[in-house]
Chain A
Amino acid sequence: MCVWFPSWPLRRPDAPSDEPCQVVGPDGMVTAANALAVAAGVRVGMPRRRAETLCPAVATLPADPGAEAAAFEAVARAVETVAPGVEVAEPGLLFLDVSGAVRYYGGEEPLVACVARAVREVAAGARLGLADGPFAARAAAEGETMVADTEGFIAGLDIATLGVSEIVDTFRWLGISTLGDLAALPREAVASRFGRIGLEAYRLASGEDREVSPRSLPQDVAVEERFDPPLRDLEQAAFAAKSLAHRLLEAVGPGIPHLVVVEAMSAAGEVRSRTWRSADPFTEGEIAERVRWQLRAWVEGGGIPGGMARLRLVPGDRSDSGRQMCFGEDAASEVGARRALARAQVLVGPDAVLQAVPQGGREPGERVRWHRWGEPAPQPVHDPKAPWPGRLPDPAPALVPPPCRVEVEWDDGFPVRIRLGSRWEEVRNWAGPWRRTGRWWDGEQHADRYQIVTSAGAFLCEVREGDCYLVGIYD
């Protein structure tokens, strides 16, 4: 379930209600605009200067995410009185895992009614949406609907729902106007044309966002700091949060936590906690920022009695995105590596930046399953632990060119000379043959593989139907 307040940053005392008004973030982009400003052409995500050109009378307020988060804490608490499992994505937007609560309340409708009632008591104007997965739930909240058929609902959404302006125009130009149109395309084609960003759009359009696949995190990776005497100053607590965030990322590795539980214990032993969620893995700065917002929210919402005696951060990860490679511990190197590979993908295309997983097979080519970098590693098609009679022995040839015919001179069944390019090389030694029987019932011919050693190197050759082919180079 999604609980969303449109233009939450505008819910502040200094925001005028009878004139155009916008909130601008530290990066100079509009983060919220009221109806009068929107009517004049102002849009969220627009640069401030452009917004002010379109609507010269607009009142501009600087964003204060800390205050917004503090105000939103009341909403989160209200939702929590109905069901646990609240995840705050940003001030004004939270998600609730209702899989267990639906049964408790006897259905989705009673649950939604309870949440709506609880939210209404603390803030008006909430939009609630219910669907499978955060993306669909957020879209459902726009129309305040309860979606029974999430797949059908997503398929009918306009392509602009993706919010990825870089490719939405191209999609429209190609005649793809809904997410259903996008999901109907072959995944390979989308990946080939649009790369990672296209794949992410495809993932959302085909409803894969619903699939929650928890990654196992070690139990003891939570980091905490105890304070004696208890901290009473918010700035001191925020400073402690910074070092905790650093320790947390050191413990779990970069690119991992999409969820972070902030837990504070008061001197009296009372524990408060709040879960923050992000579509992308949290960085150190983002974690520290969320903790600071949360602490401010608790302080402004009644304080932490006796001061904060313990601050604890617990990582969680319930998203597949970001799981690409198990890089090393160095956050900078991991981010840099990803950026470098993404850049290479742009230059040569997603089909040319590859990784591979081992699988079973008899030929060197069969024993490798390729996949694009950035996509989840596929499961092996053939069991690598099966015996595979006729498999070539190790070491494997380092180079496997496409099979090409080579001339080999034989003497009484023994290879004597091999023609490499324009010159003949004497065979110094050889081993084999290893026979591949082939699926004769499918018309496959058998083949004999030989290791042929010359002064120019060692080669893997295959003899089938009387012809000899070079299939590997032991380079």
Chain B
Amino acid sequence: MLERAWTAGCAAAPLVAPGRVLGLVGSPGLGLTRLGLTLLADPAHGAAVAFVDVRGWLSPLAAWEAGIPPEHLVVVRCSERDSWGRVTAALLEGLAAVYAEVPAGVGGGVLRRLGALARARRAMLILRPLSGSLPSGLAQLKLVAEGVRWEGADSGHGRIVRRLLTLRAAGKEVGGIERLYEVEDEGTDVVRVVSQLAATEAGRAVG
């Protein structure tokens, strides 16, 4: 599904589906926050969406640039690991889409219960672990940032305008075959897949 949608050039929207759990894995600076915000933009046009902000660092400017209407974005700051699961579960009970940064040390059981809740409530859940990865099999689609290349800045001239993000996609949505994608993002609400770089046969345990 991912490959069909992405190679057709309509990257973000088909990824967003009720009840889907999406994992975004990679260190800060690789562009996954903005990618997640772009994915939230579609459900945010009809309803409220929530961003669970563990560090309290989110800039709503980026969310608005990604296409989320200000009146539909609710930022829930929750830095405590113990209450994080309950807060995210409460949001999944009533919202169409939730982007949740996962604090370090949250157990796999909590994440699996949230995944089951998202499927039961038909809410979209995007999980972004702040350290480490996600338990295998949890996310139907896991996007791992492999690298990023920024364009526009040139030795003091210009400004950063565009980036090319290399993503490794894995999970049930790509049929158990890991694939590498290059995604172009110009800071607006549209991200575009430039190319599918490679596909490798993955083992059965790919999550």
Question: Which A residues are closer than 8 A to B by beta carbons?
Answer: 325-330, 333-341, 343-344, 347-348, 352-358, 364-365, 367-368, 373, 377, 393-401, 414, 428-432, 451, 453-459, 472-475
Whether A340 contacts B28 in the complex (CB less than 8 A), given A347-B87, A377-B71, A430-B156, comes out as no
21 A–B contacts, CB within 8 A, in A order = A326-B72, A327-B47, A337-B47, A344-B50, A348-B77, A348-B78, A354-B77, A355-B73, A355-B74, A368-B61, A395-B34, A398-B58, A399-B33, A431-B152, A431-B154, A432-B159, A454-B29, A473-B57, A474-B34, A474-B150, A475-B33
Contact residues of B between 155 and 207, Cβ < 8 Å to A: 155-161, 163, 186-187
Whether A396 contacts B61 in the complex (CB less than 8 A), given A336-B94, A355-B70, comes out as yes
Chain B interface mostly: mixed
Whether A347 contacts B90 in the complex (CB less than 8 A), given A364-B59, A399-B57, A457-B28, comes out as yes
Q: Determine if A325 and B150 form an interchain contact, defined as CB atoms under 8 angstroms apart.
A: no
Q: Determine if B30 and A354 form an interchain contact, defined as CB atoms under 8 angstroms apart.
A: no
**Cβ distance B28 to chain A, nearest Cβ, rounded Å:** 5
Q: Which residues of A contact B47 (CB under 8 A)?
A: 327-328, 330, 333-334, 337
Q: How far is the CA of A468 from the CA of B31 in the complex (A)?
A: 23
Whether A340 contacts B95 in the complex (CB less than 8 A), given A354-B75, A396-B59, A399-B59, comes out as yes
Residue-wise, chain B 94-131 has the 8 Å CB interface mask toward A (1 for contact) of 11100000000000000000000000000000000000
Q: Determine if B64 and A352 form an interchain contact, defined as CB atoms under 8 angstroms apart.
A: no
Q: Tell me the nearest residue of chain B to A356, going by C-beta.
A: B60
The answer to whether the Cβ of B133 comes within 8 Å of any Cβ in the partner chain is no
Q: How far is the CA of A469 from the CA of B95 in the complex (A)?
A: 37
Q: Can you add 10 more A-B contacts, CB < 8 Å, to A347-B83, A395-B62?
A: A325-B72, A326-B71, A334-B47, A339-B93, A358-B64, A368-B61, A400-B59, A414-B156, A430-B155, A430-B156
**Cβ distance A454 to chain B, nearest Cβ, rounded Å:** 8
Q: How far is the CA of A399 from the CA of B27 in the complex (A)?
A: 13
Q: How far is the CA of A399 from the CA of B78 in the complex (A)?
A: 16
Q: Which residues of A contact B78 (CB under 8 A)?
A: 347-348, 352
Whether A340 contacts B91 in the complex (CB less than 8 A), given A325-B48, A326-B71, comes out as yes
**Cβ distance A42 to chain B, nearest Cβ, rounded Å:** 38
Q: How far is the CA of A428 from the CA of B76 in the complex (A)?
A: 35
Q: Determine if A343 and B93 form an interchain contact, defined as CB atoms under 8 angstroms apart.
A: yes
Q: Determine if B74 and A353 form an interchain contact, defined as CB atoms under 8 angstroms apart.
A: yes
Query: Which of A337, A343, A432: most chain B Cβ within 10 A?
Result: A337
**Cβ distance A362 to chain B, nearest Cβ, rounded Å:** 12
Q: Which residues of B contact A472 (CB under 8 A)?
A: 59
Whether A356 contacts B70 in the complex (CB less than 8 A), given A344-B90, A395-B187, A459-B29, comes out as yes
Checking B87, B94, B147, B154 against A455 with a beta-carbon cut-off of 8 angstroms, the contacting residue is B147
Q: Tell me the nearest residue of chain A to B30, going by C-beta.
A: A457
Q: How far is the CA of A340 from the CA of B83 in the complex (A)?
A: 15
